[in-house]
Amino acid sequence: MKEVRVRFAPSPTGALHIGGVRTALYNYLLARKFKGTMILRIEDTDQTRFVPGAEEYILNSLEWTGIKIDEGVGKGGPHAPYRQSERKLIYRQYAQKLLDEGKAYYAFDTPQELEDTREQLKAKGISNFQYDSTTRVQMKNSLTLQSEEVKQKLAASVAYVVRLKVPAKEQIRLNDLIRGEVVVDSSQIDDKVLMKSDGMPTYHLANVVDDYLMKISHVIRGEEWLPSAPLHLLLYRYLGWEKEMPAFAHLPLLLKPDGNGKLSKRDADKMGFPIFPLDWTDPTSGELAKGYKESGYLPEALINFLAFLGWNPGTTQEIFSMDQLIEAFTIERIGKAGAKFDIQKAQWLNQQYLKAKSDEELTACLLHSLAAEKIECSKEKALKICGVMKERVTFPQDFWLQGKFFFQAPITFDEQVVAKKWNDDVVKVLSAYREALIKTENVTAEVAKSTLETVTTELGIPTGKILQALRTAITGGASGPDLMMTIEILGKNEVVSRISYALKNLKVKVK
């Protein structure tokens, strides 16, 4: 088998979309599975859409997700440069070759002229103008103009583009690894621009030339490219590279969670989940878009989630590490239909991965949050808190968000609990419990519990009746981790002071 060489080829026009991460992932999985090479190529042929910082963002995102680049931008390699803007001259040569062989031609129609033609046709009720074998005879190009005139224009540096001379009527058959045979009639394809008037190639030319020169074996890309795949085949054919042409696999798209349509940043914002792997600040608007990383998603969970959107191993196993994904991955098991993006599953996976982490790692999460809040905490205490919080968190920041009461005494109390449960019995028990605790040494969870039971027994009040009120007095909330452990972690003095505060500030509702 031919060496597997795949590429991820994003455009640096903004932050890397989550769908792009999935495309990169599938490429990476295939590369690793067959001990091949993962290449990163930056397709920056559109200078008008270039966004500063986007390339770095792509690199950072891939690094965070654990998708490693073997060759390409940021890494170098035998086919450098890997940034298309730096390969201009290469494309020029191949465009010239096509020109020389009569497979492409110069076109001098200005964008304005093309626009006018479209308008005119639209006025006549023809919805779409296509620059192709039926229309090119009416346009200004090296096929219709006298060769002298063409020479003159070129010499005078009149702006031109190079267009592919697509045959009038020819069936083009393409075998897609995911979709099977796709047949398109060449009459449906227009004479695509290969070289723009600014001297840059379009995606189509650059892509084919680079994939050939970089010896790409498999092109795994989004489904949006399927309609132009036959054009690419034509290019390989005209360039004499059909035998070396890579295999194609067009991935189904990621769809929005509700309704229809492809997943967009708008949907993500609306539903409250990230669309980008990392935080991204739009350089023009200055607007910040939250990333998966900063929202608390673990890269392994995100990868696991993304891998399963459009692919599955055919077994019932759901949790897969990157290595396991590499082992199990096959292109054949990629589905054909678009997958709706369901963030709930990602959250569940995140929880699974978070729970699987060691106590040290979990503690580090809490300590990290605390440092940001400038709160001091011993490692021992943090360890205990994490132990008790572990089963209830989805994101690393939840240790802090849901465990604030460990560090801050409540000022307000859950209103419902107060209204329903705070009564004379509670005041009696809590007062007595407070006194009992003061006299008790070494208040562990066990001791806290037995002390409470002693008090309630003496007063003849069932423990269950006052427990939730006690929790609210100590934590302010209505629910949380095991209360006796909470008391142990908080320590006798803190608990006593919190009960005192609650007794002083909470009034029994008069009926």
Partner RNA sequence: GGUCUGUUCGUCUAGGGGUUAGGACACCAGAUUUUCAUUCUGGUAACACGGGUUCGAUUCCCGUACGGACUACCA
CA nearest neighbour of 487 among 429, 430, 446: 446
The verdict on whether 215 is a catalytic residue reads no
Shortest gap between Cβ of 236 and RNA (angstroms)?
A: 17
- Taking the least distance from each CB to RNA, the nearer of 2 and 173 is 173
Q: How far is the CB of 371 from RNA (least distance, A)?
A: 25
83, β-bridge pairs: 42
CB of 410 to RNA, least distance (A): 15
**Residue at token pair 């009992």:** 436
What's the number of CA atoms in the CB half-sphere (13 Å) around residue 497? Answer: 9
Name the one residue in this structure whose structure tokens are 């008069």: 510
Straight-line distance from the first to the last Cα atom of the chain, in angstroms, rounded to the nearest whole number:
84
Neighbours of 46 (CB within 10 A): 17
Q: 288 or 444, CB closer to RNA?
A: 444
The distance of closest approach from Cβ of residue 457 to RNA in the complex, given in angstroms and rounded to an integer, is 10
Radius of gyration of the chain (CA): 33
Angle (CA) 164 167 172, round 5°: 100
| Signed CA dihedral, 417, 422, 425, 426: sign only | positive
In the complex with RNA, the residue whose CB is nearer, 277 or 480, is 480
- Minimal distance, residue 292 CB to RNA, in Å: 17
- Residue closer to RNA (CB basis): 314 or 372: 314
Instruction: Answer for the pair 57, 277: CB distance below 8 angstroms, yes or no.
Output: no
CA atoms within 13 A on the CB side of 301: 24
DSSP H or E stretch at residue 332? none
Question: Helices marked H in 411-491 — which ranges?
Answer: 415-421, 424-438, 445-459, 463-475, 483-490
Of 10 and 36, which CB lies nearer to RNA in the complex structure? 10
Q: How many helices (H) and strands (E) does the chain have?
A: 20, 14
Task: Choose, from 265, 345, 404, 465, the residue flagged as catalytic.
Answer: 265
DSSP helix/strand/coil, 68: coil
| Least distance to RNA, CB of residue 216, Å | 15
Q: Which is nearer to RNA, 143 or 379 (CB)?
A: 143
Active site (catalytic) residues: 265
